[in-house]
Amino acid sequence: MATADTEKQWTILSLIRWSEEYLTEKGIDSPRLNAELMLASALGYKRIDLYTRFDKPLVREELDRYKALFVRRIKKEPLQYILGHADFYGRRFSVCPDVLIPRPETEHLIEATIEIVKENDIQSPGILDIGTGSGCIAITLAAEIEGAVITALDVSDRALKCADENAARHAVGDRINFKKINILDPYNAIPDSGSYDFIVSNPPYIPLREWEKLPDEIKAHEPKYALTDERDGLSFLRRLTELAPATLKPGGWLICEIGYGQFDEVRELFDTSGARDIKHWYDLAGIKRTIGGHW
Ligand code: GLN
């Protein structure tokens, strides 16, 4: 592009076609979609606007803005960080390199929580979200469950800032209290312990040896502490099941996302801690992805 764009008059369509080919060669999945989303972002358009302006000639500043994004993608930075946002449960969330990109698997945790709220007719539930990251779980639950009041914890100041911005964007900031806490630290007391109807969490459950095998796109760009405990993957799940009985109201639920093949071990942790009615929910790949139980 560097040499070509001095000679050639690029249009939206010719640039998309050229990019699609280049991204394909570099092994990037969904090359056309990637190109369209980055170009729409560089131009300040919606993706659909590109289709009605295929012949629009692109000026130098537009090409430069696009090129800056394109180069990052060639270096395998995840598209969501480049665009600055990701979609989760039908809402848009800002993401920065300090937070995990929300994943579709995590939407099952939302569905599971809503299901339990409805089944048990729980009014204005108090919910504790542990490891909130972008805030996607806390904010979605606040928006989906009437009157839900949420405390959302994270160890990272920068993640909490991102989550706070997302809460404001979705107008639920008044029902979410963000707080910096490391739940593995025994000296860090959970605020309002004993008052929660739910603890929800998508903890860093990937064992270190599995993290090492993840694609570079994830390993080099997403925060390691949000993905792995750098041990067997169960440190946070152990801690959550330990904390649950005293943190929840009697009858309160702990609902967590878990990794591939972890269900039996995590079920055991729930069981040992005295959980009842342990349930699971599958993801679209047929994996037991979410576990819940109450005390
Ligand atoms: N709760 C956030 C999410 O589900 C962050 C999870 C994490 O950082 N492990 O995306």
User: What fold does the segment set 96-294 form as a domain?
Assistant: Rossmann fold (3.40.50)
Domain spans, the chain: 12-75, 96-294
Q: Which residues of the chain have pLDDT under 70?
A: 1-7
DSSP reduced 3-state for 213:
coil
Specify the residue for token string 């993840």: 214
Would you say the CB of residue 140 lies under 6 angstroms from ligand 1? no
Cβ density class 42-57: b for 16+ within 10 Å, e for less = bbebeeeebeeeeebe
Which residue puts its alpha carbon closest to atom 8 of ligand 1? 226
Q: Are strands 149-154 and 176-180 parallel, antiparallel or unpaired?
A: parallel
Would you say the CB of residue 226 lies under 6 angstroms from ligand 1? yes
Which residue puts its alpha carbon closest to atom 4 of ligand 1? 202
Q: How high is the pLDDT of residue 4? A: 53
Q: Do 16 and 39 meet the contact criterion of CB atoms below 8 Å apart?
A: yes
pTM: 0.94
pLDDT in tens, 242-252: 999 999 999 99
Q: How high is the pLDDT of residue 8? A: 83
**In testing the pocket of ligand 1, which one of 132, 224, 228, 258 has its CB within 8 Å of the most ligand atoms?**
132
* R_g of the chain, CA atoms, integer Å: 22
Residue 28 gets which letter from DSSP?
A: -
Q: Distances from the Cα of 245 to the Cαs of 11, 28, 87, 132, in angstroms?
A: 61, 46, 33, 21
CA of 2 to the centre of ligand 1 (A): 38
Architecture of domain 12-75: Orthogonal Bundle (1.10)
Q: Which residues pair with 263 in a beta bridge?
A: none
